[in-house]
Amino acid sequence: MKTEDRKLAIADYKKRAAVAGVFAIRCRATGEVWVGQAPDLEKIQNRIWFTLRMGSHRNAELQCAWSAHGADGLSLETLERIEDEELAYVRDTLLKERVQHWRTQLNASAV
């Protein structure tokens, strides 16, 4: 890849709009579900899987599920996307409301 092409690709990546939303992590073996929110849904799995691999995730139940079943035993799915909200405080309030809705709906724990 040429230097100019690389610089353009980096600039395009930085300009992309992050899509906030609500996600669920499911344990295939136990059926447990954890629901959380993310300011950028494209990056959240990478971040969570990293903390789980390091053994430093703040949710002890999720960390135990990871330790027992590994990466193949867990899956992450997007439940809801919030794409059009530009004001951060409105987006955050909406995310909190939707996370509560999904936790109740799925009988899930917090991530």
Q: Is residue 31 part of a domain?
A: yes
Q: Is residue 64 part of a domain?
A: yes
Task: Please say whether the beta carbons of 68 and 27 come within 8 A.
Answer: no
Q: Is residue 12 part of a domain?
A: no
Q: What is the CATH number of the domain that holds 58?
A: 3.40.1440.10
Determine the pLDDT at residue 21.
95
- Please determine, for residue 104, whether its predicted confidence score (pLDDT) is greater than 90: yes
pLDDT: is 25 or 14 the higher one?
Answer: 25
Q: Position 101: which residue type?
A: H
Determine the pLDDT at residue 9.
82
Dmax (CA) of the chain: 51
Determine the pLDDT at residue 103.
96
* Domain, as residue range, for 58: 18-110
Predicted TM-score of the model (pTM): 0.83
Q: Position 99: which residue type?
A: V
- Please determine, for residue 108, whether its predicted confidence score (pLDDT) is greater than 80: yes
Q: Is residue 29 part of a domain?
A: yes
Task: Please say whether the beta carbons of 107 and 33 come within 8 A.
Answer: yes
pLDDT per residue as tens digits for the range 16-57: 778 999 999 999 999 999 999 999 999 999 999 999 999 999
Domain count, the chain: 1
Q: Is residue 6 part of a domain?
A: no
Q: Which of 45, 36, 27, 10 is nearest to 103 (CA)?
A: 36
Q: Is residue 9 part of a domain?
A: no
Q: Is residue 24 part of a domain?
A: yes
Tally the C-alpha atoms within 13 A of residue 38's C-alpha that lie toward its C-beta: 23
Tell me the Cα Rg of the chain: 16
* DSSP single-letter state for residue 57: -
User: What number is the average pLDDT over the span 98-106?
Assistant: 96
Q: Is residue 8 part of a domain?
A: no
